[in-house]
Amino acid sequence: MPNRRLLIVALLAFVVGGSTIAGVVISSAGSEPSQAQRIPCPTIGPAGQTGEMTCYESIPSPYTGGAKEFGPYRLLPPGTKFIERDYGNPPLTSDFADVTDQPRIRSWRTYVAPPEGVLERTLAGRSLRGEPLQILATWDVRGKPVDVITTAYPSQLLPIDVYLHFPDSRISVTAETIGGRFAIVDQPSAGPAPNVGYIAIWLDGFEVAFRSAEHDHKVLRSLAETVAARRK
């Protein structure tokens, strides 16, 4: 899903091994084209391509201002170089624990039960110093799986930096509201497609991200709307 993101790089990237969505990529609402420059191509492309290829590279620039606040997110202008932030002393490996006790996970404030008619196929959790950090679930929606990732964000880790893409990007990620909640929607510029992007909503201190290899964003949006409505 969930690029993600999902983003609190100093903590969550270490915790979830890149499965979270904290560092989200989002499309710019402006009309400025990308600043990518043509560069020599390697002999073999990143996906194993060979033969004639055209390669571009966009050199990021240091942040000079212009970010916009959107709920827990800070939307950074296109082309912004990664901003290192000081989150204090990182936790130790021993501070984290995998949780397999499903009744315990379901008692967490961050637990999101599947809507009526949707089955919960798998459920696992991670804690930090005994406190809920992340819940990883798989829901069965009409026989097809949807991954649901719930991540808690302590206040000291906010806002979540969102690096905008130029409008000619092939991925369109928008900041909007779903069911009255702040949301990030990541999908191909040509429109929703299975196995590309995710939808994430913010629920007062934690984020719930939906992604699927078989369902497109219409189903993900419906799930997000239902979850948002139940949490009011």
pTM: 0.76
Q: Are 2 and 21 in contact (CB under 8 A)?
A: yes
123 phi/psi in degrees, rounded to 5: -155, 125
Largest CA distance in the chain: 56
Is there a contact between 28 and 165 (Cβ–Cβ < 8 Å)?
yes
Q: List the one residue out of 140, 152, 145, 133 whose CA is nearest residue 114.
A: 140
Confidence at residue 26, expressed as pLDDT on a 0 to 100 scale: 38
147-180 as b/e: b if 16+ CB within 10 A: bbbbbbbeeebeebbbbbbbbebeebbebeebbe
Q: Rounded to 10 degrees, what is the CA torsion of 103, 105, 109, 115? A: -80
For 127, the enclosing helix (H) or strand (E) is strand 119-128
Distances 154 to 158, 191, 223 between C-alpha atoms, Å: 7, 33, 25
Average pLDDT estimate for 12-29: 37
Task: State the pLDDT at residue 36.
Answer: 64
Amino acid at site 1: M
- Asked if residues 164 and 75 have their Cβ atoms less than 8 Å apart, the reply is yes
Position 206 confidence tier, pLDDT thresholds 50, 70, 90 = very high
* Between residues 162 and 151, the one the model is more confident about: 151
Cβ proximity of 125 and 46 under 8 Å = no
The tens digit of pLDDT for each residue in 177-191 reads 999 999 988 888 887
Q: In which band, very low, low, confident or very high, does the pLDDT at 192 lie, cut at 50, 70 and 90?
A: confident
Lowest mean pLDDT among 34-43, 136-145, 204-213: 34-43
pLDDT (mean) for 125-154 = 95
